[in-house]
Amino acid sequence: MELIGAVAIVVVVLAGAYLAGKCKKQDGLARIEADPTLAARVYLRADAETGAFWLHAEMRTGKKLRLAAPWDLDATLARLAAVELHLSEDDQAALTASRVASASAAEPQSRRAEGFTAAHA
């Protein structure tokens, strides 16, 4: 019974942390959308383990905000483009290169799977 209670507490804490982080990101993005002049720059930071990019903003006050996780990147960049905020050319080139590398790495695996199904069909 104690184990179930401990697991339930851990689940509640993790869910709370997830929701708090999501609200904080959405709040920062909403403030920037409301007044784009608050943002000094929008930039990408690569995760050391996965190489995936996280979107950040540096405010004119010096405060830095995390705006989007890798899976939310395109939608968030589209929202920022609507208020004329864009990545630098270097960040855009790095993002494009990362996507090309990911696509070319995934292509041989999908071709092997297609060849396997075609040969054994």
Judged against a pLDDT cut of 60, whether residue 116 lies above it is answered with no
Judged against a pLDDT cut of 80, whether residue 69 lies above it is answered with yes
2 alpha-carbon distance from chain centroid = 37
Outline where DSSP puts E strands in the chain: 39-46, 53-59, 64-68
- With tokens 């104690």, the residue in question is 2
70: which residues sit within 8 A by CB, 6+ positions away?
47, 50, 52, 53, 54
Judged against a pLDDT cut of 60, whether residue 34 lies above it is answered with yes
Judged against a pLDDT cut of 60, whether residue 89 lies above it is answered with yes
d(CA 101, CA 62): 33
Q: Is 121 helix (H, G, I), strand (E, B) or coil?
A: coil
Judged against a pLDDT cut of 90, whether residue 104 lies above it is answered with no
**Mean pLDDT along residues 85-94:** 93
Q: Is 84 helix (H, G, I), strand (E, B) or coil?
A: coil
What pLDDT sits at residue 22?
Answer: 63
Judged against a pLDDT cut of 80, whether residue 63 lies above it is answered with yes
What is the sign of the dihedral through the CA atoms of 74, 77, 79 and 82? negative
